[in-house]
Amino acid sequence: SQEDLNLALYSGTGEFPKIIFAPGKLEDAFTLTQKAFNLAEKYQIPVFILSDQYFADCYYNIPSLPVDDIKNENHLIKTPPEYKRYLITHDGITPRGIPGYGEGLVVVDSDEHDEEGHITEEFDMTVNMQNKRMKKLEAIEKEVIEPELTGSEHYDILLIGWGSTCGAIKEASASLKRDDMAFLCFNQVYPLHKKTDYYIKKAKKLIIIENNLTGQLAKLIRLDTGIEIKNKILKYNGLPFSVEEIVEQIKGII
């Protein structure tokens, strides 16, 4: 099922940026996992990859994976003597050092801290540190993966899905053979791409398909865009969607 989006999005102590991927194809899982490691190192934040049993059990033939395109990024620095682990910077990202690599003292703390890493209860520093962490979102949002649109670009009906449901929805959409329908698949569900609002507002009728009870992505889209998706196809009995049932339920809505 797809019941863990809220857990990944809202769990944690305090407020801080994060990234959530949900691969829809095996190829996506390969490239997104590598991207997740690089982004986690670059922005020093948690990056989640949401999957499920159905996706783990998928088998199909694929071309060779793009191994040559994979690059491991190294964001560690050799610390100078004056190094401050949580130095406030213009983009919120402090150069990351580790103990024993360089001449600097690396101090880390899970409580609120000053720039050097020592615990603080000073009000202004607490505000500055929280602003510093959230500042990273400005850069993160420039790297968000755009959702994939398939079908007619001149659609009136827009189907929306994410993660492991995308294959069945894409096949169901194609089998309906409607010139006024398109399907939008999200491989990244947080932060949402800035064009999400554009894609959704183009449609006269929205239908979201999710493997959970409450329509967790639909709620996130409403929070981000202010648009409520009223037509929901939800399944939460422990089984994945079949193409046939998606087709029948879409027909019942349109």
Give tens-digit pLDDT for 3-55. 999 999 999 888 999 999 999 999 999 999 999 999 999 999 999 999 999 99
Is residue 168 scored above 90 in pLDDT? yes
pLDDT score, position 68: 87
Please provide the average confidence, as pLDDT, over all residues in the chain: 96
Measured CA to CA, the distance from residue 172 to residue 141 in angstroms comes to: 31
Find the largest Cα–Cα distance for the chain. Answer: 68
Q: H helices within the chain, ranges in order?
A: 5-10, 26-43, 53-56, 123-140, 166-176, 196-202, 216-225, 243-253
* pLDDT band of 144, cuts 50, 70, 90: very high
The pTM of this model reads 0.95
Give tens-digit pLDDT for 48-93. 999 999 999 988 898 888 888 888 999 999 999 999 999 999 999 9
Measured CA to CA, the distance from residue 123 to residue 24 in angstroms comes to: 44
